[in-house]
Structure 1
Amino acid sequence: MLRTILAVLFAVCYLILGIPVLFVEWLIGKKNPHLRDISSLRMVQWAFRVIYRICGVKLTIIGQENVPKDTPVLYVANHNSYFDIIITYALCENLTGYIAKDSLEKVPLLNIWMKRLYCLFLKRDDMKASLKTILQAIEYVKQGVSICIFPEGTRGDSDEMAPFKEGSLKIAEKAGCPIIPMAITHTRDIIKDHIPFVKPTHVTIQYGTPVYPNELPKEEKRALGRYTQNIIQEMLDHEKAGSL
């Protein structure tokens, strides 16, 4: 219980005390937008690291060297918990926007930080709005900003992944960027069965080798979601076998 209280207090204090920081960042952006972006990125990453450490998360990272440092990428991951975002975002070396559900756009202050950091909000029940979001993500990638997506469309309640939605994978194909498969394990255990309390958990993040959609055979390119999901499933299976 104490970990939960401390994590929530820290998050609320960060958002409130960050109000003047947002103004300063806005001023910096007038002269140097890139400096503003990097500064915002590092501050939020620091806050996320503090939160997951307060919650007792022990982190094992595998294959981070697979992430190209000189080009934007499309991160594609399985989704188990809100902690998927907190932990993986803290690990991003360069500017990265996340595609999140539109309900987060209604959270005061948090929505400002998310928009500042190129996050996009997806209305799953509005095809026209969803397409607009995907097109904006493609434009961000072309501008040098990586994007992270969870193609299952929602957080899973079991260890079995839901089928990936193919549409979001078009970001990589249309922007010409590599896909980095990410396999996330045990984040559900941080809060599962004891909501809203957290418990210390060992989380593993695995980065697969880059997938270049435009270099794949036609059949695999046509089913890019299934192809990427199979890669992630293999990583999950390997991690599970290693922990037995």
Structure 2
Amino acid sequence: MLAKLMGYFLLGLVRVLTGSQARWYGCPPKAEQRIYFANHQSHADLVMIWAALPKELRACTRAIAAKDYWTKTPFKQWITTAVFNVIYVSRDRSAEEDPLEPLFEALSHGDSIILFPEGTRGNAEEPQPFKAGLYNLAVKFPNVVLVPAWINNVQRVMPKGEVVPVPVLCSVTFGAPIKLQAGEERRAFLDRARNAVIALRDV
């Protein structure tokens, strides 16, 4: 019950601070299994996409979150597990477990996921080169729909290094799905996926 109330509170807060405009430019909101992949410039990105999705899609869509950061305090861990139902991934390269294993498990169970293929937040106007995770997921789950998204202005709401959000009008633009082509090499696919995200910036 507390988690549900916190979810409603955060949803209202995000909408007050950002306007939380969802723009379905290349595809409609649809109850199908998807991987939403987007640019990443703020800790607020996770909440922004979550708030932009319709209620019925939020219930079956899980964001990816860095385990080392989001489990630092009991409150961070509670809000990411109880409210957002995130999938924790390890950024520890020395860990024996494949960092994508939790994502494989979630997709195998039918969840949709929100992925930031840069792997870390950037400060540039364009996303950093995408890491291999999106490609590996597309290979393993060819029937999951890959939807690019551009998050606009959210870095001004919660800039890197800041803890107090400021009201700024923001939007999330969802583009046309892409597919891994037969025989397409990893870097070519990742560059094409990145370009699909960038193309939504000026839509």
For Structure 1 versus Structure 2, the TM-score category normalised by the shorter chain is 0.7 to 0.9
Residue 171 (structure 2) pairs with residue 210 (structure 1): no
CA pair 48-224 structure 1, distance change in 2 beyond 3 A: farther
After superposition, where does 1:68-79 map in structure 2 within 5 Å? 69-79=30-40
Q: Does the 8 Å contact 1:100/1:121 carry over to 2?
A: yes
TM-score w.r.t. length of structure 1: 0.69
Q: Does the 8 Å contact 2:27/2:176 carry over to 1?
A: yes
- 1:230 aligned partner: 195
What's the % identity of the aligned pairs?
Answer: 23
- Give the superposition deviation at 1:88: 0.8
CA pair 172-46 structure 1, distance change in 2 beyond 3 A: farther
Q: Does the 8 Å contact 2:118/2:130 carry over to 1?
A: yes
Please list the CA deviations of residues 147-182 of structure 1 after superposition, one character each: whole Å capped at 9, or x if unmatched.
111111111122131111012432233123111101
Q: Distance in 1 between matches of 2:141 and 2:6?
A: 26
- 1:46 aligned partner: 8
- Give the superposition deviation at 1:210: 1.5
Residue 60 (structure 2) pairs with residue 95 (structure 1): yes
Q: Does the 8 Å contact 1:57/1:201 carry over to 2?
A: yes
Q: Which amino acid aligns with 1:74?
A: I
- 2:105 aligned partner: 139
Residue 155 (structure 2) pairs with residue 155 (structure 1): no
Q: Which consecutive unaligned segments of at least 5 residues does structure 2 have?
A: none
With a CA cutoff of 8 Å and minimum separation of 6, indicate the structure with the bigger relative contact order: 2
CA pair 221-157 structure 1, distance change in 2 beyond 3 A: closer
Q: Which amino acid aligns with 2:190?
A: G
- Give the superposition deviation at 1:44: 5.5
Counterpart of 1:174 (choices 123, 130, 140) is: 140
- 2:156 aligned partner: 189
- 1:198 aligned partner: 165
Q: Find the residue that maps to 1:121 and give its secondary structure.
A: strand
What is the number of residues matched between the two proteins?
196
Residue 73 (structure 2) pairs with residue 107 (structure 1): yes
The RMSD of aligned alpha carbons is 2.7
Q: Does the 8 Å contact 1:58/1:202 carry over to 2?
A: yes
Q: Which amino acid aligns with 2:147?
A: I
Q: Find the residue that maps to 1:189 and give its secondary structure.
A: helix
- Give the superposition deviation at 1:95: 1.2
Q: Distance in 1 between matches of 2:79 and 2:167?
A: 27
Please list the CA deviations of residues 67-119 of structure 1 after superposition, one character each: whole Å capped at 9, or x if unmatched.
56342111101001122111111233141121111220232144244335542
